[in-house]
């Protein structure tokens, strides 16, 4: 078999036992895991999975040969593949972790569910509305598959605290959520920029597999490694960080897809060929009579990341800590409450595995990922088209 078709490393002897995918777990409820996309983020979630009891990494897939070689240091006995479809053919694999560029999520997600696997899908779940609908159809069809979307804060202890504050009816009417995410990097080191190495060539990277259904073009190592810079493959920081801050409150408050979204900004700092903005502001008008605003930039980290939920009787302030602060004008005798719930190590990954074993809903289920994906796409379309985008709920289309 050609090495470009199926790049195989060492094979674990334990893989000889075959089972119906996702239906029969290994001894002691062991979950056998394959990883699709073993770059920086894929390596992080692989380590999370390896830290969970009774989870075994048995296969990797990536379109870049160097990453498959590096993956062997994580799990020396795991199989390795250049084409994810051959990984999915292995019936010994119960679940897959998908951590590929955003424009490829749909294909990998749909293929994995159709192969009978449980799926941990890194954020943002869907790249476009069309992709979100295709993923929903596959998820609906695979009714007994467990899906966890990679918004890790949905498994944090702060969810418990936030739900407690919201459930006490101590905020009054919430009309606004103000959020932001700012960071900085040393001079001369642009945010997200990665070096192009000499071995990043058409011989070592399956370029056609990277492009997927994106516009066809000649091989470009810079576009491959710095895919976050380009609209063909990336939603920029909206898909990298706004999605996380949305998902927490979409889960806790069950917020629906916005009626309208406006985004402005630009490439103000890093003039390095990137198309996605480094400074931006997004406003989202939600059907719950609530305005969710978010600002972000890569040129100053003073403000950090935080969210402020603003009600006429109180506020929730969330950053490294979460707390309730009363509006004294309406609750003169109320006192501040500080959240105390801790977050367990690898909480989000552990929840995924526990949900597979117990057939329970994950902390970040498909529906949260779907709504967040649409809101994020509306923001990107607003920026690119220079106008407010609206959601037609009946047709399920951005207009």
In this structure, the answer to whether residues 116 and 194 fall within a common structural domain is no
Tell me how far CA of residue 42 lies from CA of 128, 176, 301, 375, in angstroms.
Answer: 22, 35, 26, 25
Where does a domain end: 133, 152, 171? 152
Nearest to 68 by CA among 43, 98, 38: 38
pLDDT tens across 66-114, in order?
999 999 999 999 999 999 999 999 999 999 999 999 999 999 999 999 9
In this structure, the answer to whether residues 67 and 194 fall within a common structural domain is no
Residue with tokens 């290994």: 26
Q: With respect to residue 8, please indicate whether it lies within any of the assigned structural domains.
A: no
Read off the pLDDT band of 24 (50, 70, 90): low
Distance of alpha carbon 369 from alpha carbon 126, whole angstroms: 8
Nearest to 37 by CA among 120, 114, 116, 94: 120
In this structure, the answer to whether residues 178 and 123 fall within a common structural domain is no
In this prediction, what percent of the chain has a pLDDT beyond 70? 93
In this structure, the answer to whether residues 114 and 136 fall within a common structural domain is yes
- Beta strands across the sheet bearing 79-81: 79-81, 55-61, 31-36, 95-98, 118-121, 147-149
| Token code pair at residue 376 | 């994020």
CATH number for the domain spanning 216: value is 3.30.360.10
Read off the pLDDT band of 143 (50, 70, 90): confident
pLDDT(12) > 70: no
In this structure, the answer to whether residues 333 and 317 fall within a common structural domain is yes
Q: What φ, ψ does residue 108 adopt, rounded to 5°?
A: -70, -40
Average the pLDDT over 372-384 and give the result.
98
For the chain, the average pLDDT equals 93
In this structure, the answer to whether residues 36 and 129 fall within a common structural domain is yes
Task: Please report which helix (H) or strand (E) contains residue 325, including its range.
Answer: strand 322-326
| C-beta separation of 344 from 201 below 8 A | no
As beta bridge partners, residue 13 has none
| C-beta separation of 153 from 244 below 8 A | yes
Where does a domain end: 152, 185, 207? 152
In this structure, the answer to whether residues 74 and 162 fall within a common structural domain is no
In this structure, the answer to whether residues 377 and 241 fall within a common structural domain is yes
Read off the pLDDT band of 357 (50, 70, 90): very high
Q: With respect to residue 348, please indicate whether it lies within any of the assigned structural domains.
A: no
In this structure, the answer to whether residues 172 and 305 fall within a common structural domain is yes
pLDDT(23) > 50: no
Q: With respect to residue 202, please indicate whether it lies within any of the assigned structural domains.
A: yes
Nearest to 257 by CA among 363, 362, 369: 369
Domain extent, residue 333, equals 155-342+366-398
pLDDT(20) > 50: no
Read off the pLDDT band of 365 (50, 70, 90): very high
Q: With respect to residue 307, please indicate whether it lies within any of the assigned structural domains.
A: yes
| C-beta separation of 194 from 326 below 8 A | no
In this structure, the answer to whether residues 164 and 282 fall within a common structural domain is yes
pLDDT tens across 307-323, in order?
999 999 999 999 999 99
Read off the pLDDT band of 150 (50, 70, 90): very high
Average the pLDDT over 168-172 and give the result.
97
**How would DSSP label each residue in 265-299?**
EE--S--SS--S-SEEEEEEEETTTEEEEEEEESS
In this structure, the answer to whether residues 148 and 222 fall within a common structural domain is no
Q: With respect to residue 352, please indicate whether it lies within any of the assigned structural domains.
A: no
Judging by beta carbons within 10 Å of its beta carbon (0-12, 13-18, 19+), is residue 288 exposed, middle or buried? middle
Read off the pLDDT band of 31 (50, 70, 90): very high
Read off the pLDDT band of 26 (50, 70, 90): low
pTM exceeding the 0.85 threshold for the entire prediction: yes
Read off the pLDDT band of 22 (50, 70, 90): very low
pLDDT(2) > 80: no
Where does a domain end: 101, 131, 152? 152
Q: What φ, ψ does residue 60 adopt, rounded to 5°?
A: -130, 150
Q: With respect to residue 67, please indicate whether it lies within any of the assigned structural domains.
A: yes
pLDDT tens across 241-299, in order?
999 999 999 999 999 999 999 999 999 999 999 999 999 999 999 999 999 999 999 99
Where do the H-state alpha helices sit in 125-216?
Answer: 129-141, 157-167, 207-211
pLDDT of res. 153: 97
Q: With respect to residue 210, please indicate whether it lies within any of the assigned structural domains.
A: yes
CA dihedral 349, 355, 360, 366 (to 10 degrees): 50
- Residues 323-361 as b/e (b if ≥16 CB within 10 A, e otherwise) read ebebbeeeeeeeeebebeeeeeebbbbbbbbbbbeeeee
CATH number for the domain spanning 79: value is 3.40.50.720
Q: With respect to residue 256, please indicate whether it lies within any of the assigned structural domains.
A: yes
Least confident of 24-33, 230-239, 383-392: 24-33
Number of domains in the chain: 2
Least confident of 18-32, 118-132, 270-284, 331-345: 18-32
In this structure, the answer to whether residues 102 and 171 fall within a common structural domain is no
């Amino acid at each position: 078999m050609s090495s470009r078709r199926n790049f195989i490393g060492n094979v674990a002897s334990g893989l000889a036992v075959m089972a119906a995918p996702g239906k029969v777990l290994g001894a002691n409820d062991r979950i056998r895991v394959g990883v699709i996309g073993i770059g920086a983020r894929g390596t992080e979630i692989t380590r999370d999975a390896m830290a969970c009891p009774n989870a075994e990494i048995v296969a990797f897939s990536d379109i870049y040969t160097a990453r498959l070689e590096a993956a062997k240091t994580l799990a020396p006995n795991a199989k390795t593949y250049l084409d994810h479809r051959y990984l999915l053919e292995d019936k010994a694999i119960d679940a897959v972790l998908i951590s590929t560029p955003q424009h490829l999520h749909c294909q990998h997600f749909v293929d994995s569910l159709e192969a009978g696997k449980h799926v941990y899908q890194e954020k943002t779940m869907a790249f476009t509305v069309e992709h979100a609908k295709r993923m929903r159809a596959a998820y609906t069809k695979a009714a007994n598959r467990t899906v966890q979307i990679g918004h890790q804060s949905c498994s944090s202890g702060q969810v418990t605290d936030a739900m407690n504050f919201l459930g006490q009816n101590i905020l009054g009417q919430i009309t606004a959520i103000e959020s932001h995410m700012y960071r900085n990097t040393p001079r001369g080191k642009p945010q997200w920029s990665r070096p192009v190495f000499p071995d990043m060539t058409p011989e070592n990277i399956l370029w056609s597999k990277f492009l997927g259904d994106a516009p066809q073009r000649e091989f470009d190592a810079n576009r491959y490694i710095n895919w976050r810079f380009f609209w063909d493959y990336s939603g920029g920081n909206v898909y990298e960080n706004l999605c996380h801050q949305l998902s927490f409150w979409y889960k806790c408050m069950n917020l629906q897809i916005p009626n309208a979204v406006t985004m402005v900004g630009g490439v103000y700092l890093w003039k390095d060929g990137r198309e996605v903005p480094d400074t931006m502001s997004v406003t989202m008008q939600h059907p719950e009579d609530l305005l969710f605003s978010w600002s972000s930039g890569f040129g100053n980290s003073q403000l950090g990341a935080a969210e402020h939920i603003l009600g006429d009787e109180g506020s929730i302030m969330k950053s490294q800590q979460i707390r309730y602060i009363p509006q004294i004008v309406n609750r003169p005798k109320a006192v501040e409450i500080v959240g105390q719930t801790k977050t367990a190590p690898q909480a989000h990954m552990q929840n995924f595995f526990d949900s597979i074993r117990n057939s329970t809903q994950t902390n970040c289920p498909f529906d949260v990922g779907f709504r967040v994906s649409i809101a994020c796409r509306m923001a990107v379309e607003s920026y690119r088209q220079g106008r407010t985008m609206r959601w037609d709920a009946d047709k399920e289309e951005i207009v």
